[in-house]
Amino acid sequence: MTTTNQILQNEKYQSCIDACFDCAESCEYCTTCCLREQDVKMLTRCIQLNRDCATICVTAAAFMSRDSEYAKQICNLCADICEACAQECEKHTNMDHCQKCAQACRRCADECRRMSG
């Protein structure tokens, strides 16, 4: 039988899981949009960080969803990568996809930092 505690466990994670999935989606989409820009060459670090950010966000969401012993540790690393990705995306002020991605990364970094704290 699922105990109330287990239900609450998952609710405790919900806003962070949502932020991780949203950030993963934004990073996958931002990568595709960057590849469609004329000057891809200036966006290669953005793409590299988007790749890592998408991967770690999905991993962190999986750890929280399964109530892993290591949820805090993965969220701590996820926050670091989200911050680096946000910082890079914020440089591209004329690109909607980078601006939206930066917002998703900032939100995810905050949620993951709180979770890991």
Residues near 73 by beta carbon (within 8 Å), at least 6 away in sequence? 116
Measured from the CB of residue 45, what is the shortest distance to a second copy in angstroms?
A: 9
Name the 3-class secondary structure at 19.
Answer: helix
Does residue 8 touch a second copy according to CB under 8 A? no
The single residue among 12, 52, 103, 110 that binds a second copy, judged by CB under 8 A, is 52
Distance CA 105, CA 54 (A): 10
The single residue among 61, 86, 104, 115 that binds a second copy, judged by CB under 8 A, is 61
Q: Yes or no: say if 23 and 57 are a contact pair by the CB < 8 Å rule.
A: yes
Does residue 103 touch a second copy according to CB under 8 A? no
Does residue 35 touch a second copy according to CB under 8 A? yes
Does residue 17 touch a second copy according to CB under 8 A? yes
